[in-house]
Amino acid sequence: MMTAAVIKGFLISAVTMSLACTWPSAALSESKNVEVEVVAGGLETPWAIAFASDGRIFVTERPGRIRIIKNGKLQTEPWMEIDAYETGEAGLMGLVLDPEFSRNRFAYAAYAYRDSNGRLKNRLVRLREDSATGKG
């Protein structure tokens, strides 16, 4: 059986959490100072973004392309294309560059695919950039 002190503590916690979730944040009141700038257009369902130390921006597109924004311009040719199965929230999803990317050229990606029985599954892969071509 719960004691009165436990019930009182629970109620105080619940009310405090409710107020914290509904109280206007300072960030919202200052949002009028936020500037929005389009970095790249013409992307098909961009999903994940990763930043390389050399200034390139890697962007995944859900249909399976990894694109590069270099010097503020979206490169025409994809860095790599993956045979991802695109449906709903599935396709080429996450991308992260290895912490030592500038040295080892590794990137990691998560994507959905259909197995030989037609089942939708997810896969995590390690990719490597060709230092000669700059492509994955």
Residue ranges per domain, the chain? 4-32, 46-128
The pLDDT tens digits for 26-73 are: 555 566 788 888 888 888 899 999 999 999 999 999 999 999 999 999
The pLDDT tens digits for 68-116 are: 999 999 999 999 999 999 988 899 999 999 999 999 999 999 999 999 9
CB burial string 50-62: b at 16+ within 10 A, e below: beeeeebbbbbbb
> Which amino acid belongs to residue 5?
A
> Cα torsion at 31, 35, 37, 43 (round to 10°)?
0
CATH 3.30.420 applies to domain 46-128: no
In this prediction, residue 125 has a pLDDT band, given cuts at 50, 70 and 90, of very high
